[in-house]
Amino acid sequence: MRIISWNIRKATEKSYAWKILADLCPDIALLQEVSSIPKNIKELFDIKFHKAVSKTGKPQQFGTAIFVKGKIVNELPLSSKYDWVNQELKHFTGNLISCIAKPTGYPELNIISIYSPAWSINISKYPNIDIAAIKLKQNSKLWVTEILWSALKNANLVDLPWIVGGDFNCSETFDLTFSSGNREILDRMNTLGLTECLRTYNGKLTPTFKSPRGDKIIHQIDHMFVSDSLFLKLKNCSIGDETIIFSKSVSDHLPIIAVFKNVQNIRPYVKNLLIENFGELINRNKWIFAKTMPEIPHYYIVRDSLSENDKKLFDEFNMFIRKNGYATKFYSKQYTYFNIGRYRYWVIENILNRTKLK
């Protein structure tokens, strides 16, 4: 399954962006700054589209969209436990497009396409409301990304896999120059159990935006987050060809292209189910005593020695521990742990460790 997220810079139906999109052949496309859509593209996809809102509150000439080769099967209402956030969600309906979709041959997915503008939300209209629970700790302003985060925090992120992608207008590199809190935005998403595909797969920031100031290409302001059950199926994640997209002035953003394998077999990331599966991994493999560290008695198994099925369980357990565990020190270094029964478990590179709880 191929998923693309791309700000196509106010593309009309005559834009070359549509040929690039068709050639990339996505099963799902999360698009921002869509002005008009050509007929041949409309025939390929089931489409949900709304015009984005401007700073003055009027509709923009462009909008945000979700394209699916298959069927958009239902609405996916976004809501927060805060009434004032729900007002903002309604205001930004065209910036936060959501739905439940079923791509042909694949299971149902929860999808959000986000277009977070470069201007902040006017917080003066909430003089008697404490917005601290939503606002970034490292930024004095309020942005659409925080409205999205509040809604996701209130959502069921377990029953179906989630895809949240688009133009977040935040990059870690902004923290080094003119802004703050951008890393905090990304960390918040990760804490919800959503992993950013492009940065995580490549192990580093991958620029997606050509700045109008000096044509610098150093910022990744576009992101694609997916739930753990889907991230475990990620085969590769890359960006579009900048020599074509930038040199031909197709857009000032590059598409994020994520390919997932064996998605047909995806299952909900339910804790109890996973713990039950981890019990199989734990019980059918031989644990080796760490003889080199007798002063800190513990046992381990090595991923490379496992069967192919248990290697998959190893990877799931590793992901599960990172997302649901607690941090503490082991032999002067800090790791993330998770307790099952009488044992504490943690992973160091390709080694699963355990020690008896005292």
In angstroms, the CA 113 to CA 31 distance is 7
Give ∠ CA 331-332-338 in degrees, rounded to 5. Answer: 65
Contact 353, 346 (CB under 8 A): yes
Encoded tokens for 339: 């307790």
Distance, CA of 111 to chain centre = 10
Beta bridge partners of 63: 34, 51
In angstroms, the CA 275 to CA 316 distance is 10
What structural domains does the chain harbor? Answer: 2-265 (3.60.10.10), 271-356 (no CATH)
CB atoms within 10 A of CB 24: 14
Cα four-point dihedral sign 329, 332, 200, 234? negative
Buried b (16+ CB within 10 A) or exposed e, 208-226: bbbeeeeeeeebbbbbbbb
- Predicted pLDDT at 332: 67
Beta bridge partners of 162: 110
Contact 63, 9 (CB under 8 A): no
> pLDDT means per 10 residues in the chain (358 residues)?
98 98 98 98 98 97 98 97 97 98 95 97 93 93 97 87 97 88 90 86 91 92 92 91 96 98 70 68 92 90 93 89 76 78 85 86
- Predicted pLDDT at 270: 47
Encoded tokens for 209: 């935006």
Beta-strand (E) ranges in 269-311? 288-289, 299-302
- Predicted pLDDT at 268: 55
This prediction has a pTM of: 0.79
Contact 66, 101 (CB under 8 A): yes
- Predicted pLDDT at 274: 60
